[in-house]
């Protein structure tokens, strides 16, 4: 009789968004591992591992950038609205 000493689970996320590569739309596939994520495109062999810490740091940087862009767009929209009311 055999016993499985280590439980192995594989969690796959197939995103709703897709990327065009070589003229073909492909969904993004993310494999969840304990220490890192593996990102690939559906139907492609290339896989790109990334540490969860790096993924989080990238998300923080993008959030800060997106908040600045949104604030600038909102300020421009308010300025445009004021000029139209005059």
Give which of 51, 49, 48 is closest to 59, Cα–Cα. Answer: 51
Q: What residue spans define the domains of the chain?
A: 11-85
Q: Does residue 10 register a pLDDT over 90?
A: no
pTM above 0.95, yes or no: no
CA distance 41 to 54: 20
pLDDT given at position 86: 56
In tens, the pLDDT along 46-69 reads: 999 999 999 999 999 999 999 999
* Token pair of 58 as six digits: 């990238």
């Amino acid at each position: 009789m055999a016993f499985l000493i280590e439980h192995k689970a594989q969690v796959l996320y197939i995103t709703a968004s897709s990327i065009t590569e070589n003229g073909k739309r492909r969904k993004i596939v993310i494999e969840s591992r304990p220490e890192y994520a593996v990102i690939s495109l559906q139907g492609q062999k290339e896989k790109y591992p990334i540490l969860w810490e790096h993924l989080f740091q990238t998300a923080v940087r993008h959030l800060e950038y997106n908040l600045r862009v949104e604030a600038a767009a909102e300020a421009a929209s308010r300025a445009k609205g004021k000029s139209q009311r005059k």
